[in-house]
Amino acid sequence: MIRFLTAGESHGKALTVIIDGMPPGIPISREYINHELEKRQIGAGSGGRMHIEKDEVEILSGIRFGKTIGSPISMIIWNKDHTNWGEKMSIEEQPSEVVDSATVTAPRPGHADLAGVQKHGFDDVRNVLERASARETAARVAAGGVFKQYLLTKHIEIASHTIQIGDIKVVSTYTFEGIKKTYENDPEIRCVDPGKSRKMKQLIQKAMIDKDTLGGVVETWAVGVPAGCGDYAQWDTKLDGQIAKAMMSIQSVKAVEIGHGIENAAKFGSEVHDEIYYDEKKYYRKTNRAGGIEGGVTNGMPIIVRVYHKPISTLYKPLKTVDIITKKQVEAIIARSDICVIPRAGVVSEAMLAYILARNIAV
C-alpha cells in the first residue's frame, strides 16, 4: 500500500519525502512536480519567506527513464533560507552564545509551540516550531505531484479553489472546469467569483494593516473516481474517514467537511439525500450533496472536500503568553509569517486528497 513520510525543519538544510509502494511504470515528470510547488508559493497574504525560496524538487531514487520502477521514491527540496540560519540550525554542537541567540521561550497561542514543549520537556520552543511550521507542506506537495500524475493515468483529476476568506464567502455556482482555471485566472486568491476575489484581497490587506491574520475555507474536487473506492465494512478503511484524517493533519486546519455535511445537519432527510436514477446502463444523481461518498465508499460523483483553516497563529500584534523559563506573562514571539494561507493552501489539500485516492486505488 502506498505511504509517505516527510522530514525536515523549516530553516534546516532541506525538506525530504519518501514515498513507498508506488506501482511501477507510471510516467513522472519533474516539471509537473515543480509546477505544483510553484502553486504553493504564489498567493495574496504570503509572508517574506516566499521571496527567498524558489522550491524545486530533486528526485533521488525510484524513477528511471521517466517512469517509476516500484522502488521507494525519495525527493529533496533544498531550503535556500538555511544559509541565513546555518549556525542556529546546526546539526553539530554550538557554543552557548549561538544556542542562546537561537532560543525561543515565548510560545504563540494557537501554534504547536507550548504543546510541543510540554510533550517533550524542552526549554526551547524552536525545537518544536521548526518542524511544526507549514513549510513542511512543500514536501507534501512534492509527493502530491507524484500521486496526481499516477491518478491521471486512471483519468482522475483533482483541483481546488478558495471558497471563503474571513467572512467573505463564494455563493455562486461553479463547475470543475471553472475551479481548474482559478490558478491561471486568479493566482492571488484562486476564486471563481472575481467580485468576491477582490473583496477577499481587500480583507487580507486590512488584516495586514491591522497586524492580524485570517483563515478561510478551501474546497477540493476529485473527478473521474469510479464508484466502489473505499469501504463500508471497517471503520479505518472508510474513504471519508481516511480523507478527513489526511486533511485534518494539514497545518492550521481545524475542521473537514465532505459535500454539504455542515448545512445538511440542519435539514430534513428529504432535503439532503441525492436521489438515484438509471439511464443508459448506469446510475446517476441530479445532486451531489453527499460529496461523492456514501457509507465510506465512492458513488461515482465528484468527491468534494472542504477544509477549514484557522487564522495563522503568528500575529504581528502578539497575544499574551507565558515565558517557558521565567513563567512570567510576556508577549508571544513575532516570527516572520503569513497573513493568510488560504490561496496557497489549496494545492496542499489537493496533495493529501491525491494521496488517499492513490493509496486506495493502487491496492
The annotation places the binding site for FMN at: 131-133, 251-252, 295, 310-314, 336
Chosen residue from 6, 105, 133, 264 binding ligand EPS by CB under 6 A? 133
d(CA 345, CA 44): 11
Q: Which amino acid is at 305?
A: V
Query: Is residue 314 a contact point for ligand EPS (CB under 6 A)?
Result: yes
Which is nearest to 37 in space by CA: 59, 13, 19, 22? Answer: 59
Residue type, 64: R
**Contact flag: residue 336 with ligand EPS (CB under 6 A):** yes
φ, ψ at 158 (rounded to 5°): -130, 140
Closest approach of ligand EPS to the CB of residue 114, in Å: 14
Is 339 a binding residue for ligand EPS by CB under 6 A? The answer is: no
Q: Tell me which DSSP letter residue 330 carries.
A: E
Cell of 307: 477544509
What is the rounded CA–CA span in Å between residue 154 and residue 174? Answer: 24
Rule CB under 6 A: say whether 312 interacts with ligand EPS.
Answer: yes
- Report residue 239 as a C-alpha cell: 474513504
Mark the segment that binds ligand EPS (CB under 6 A) among 63-71, 98-106, 134-142, 186-194: 134-142
Q: How far is the CB of 49 from ligand EPS (least distance, A)?
A: 4
Among 22, 114, 134, 315, the residue binding ligand EPS under the rule CB under 6 A is: 134
Contact between 253 and ligand EPS per CB under 6 A: no
135 binds ligand EPS (CB under 6 A): yes
x/- letters, 20..59, toward ligand EPS (CB under 6 A): ---------------------------x-x----------
139 and 8 Cβ atoms separated by less than 8 Å: yes
Residue 59: what residue type? I
Q: 133: left (phi > 0), else alpha (psi -120 to 50), else beta?
A: beta
Helix (H) or strand (E) run with residue 114 in it: helix 113-120
Annotated binding site: 40, 131-133, 251-252, 295, 310-314, 336
User: Applying CB under 6 A, what is the total number of residues that bind ligand EPS?
Assistant: 14
Binding site for ligand EPS (CB under 6 A): 10, 47, 49, 81, 133-135, 138, 312, 314, 335-338
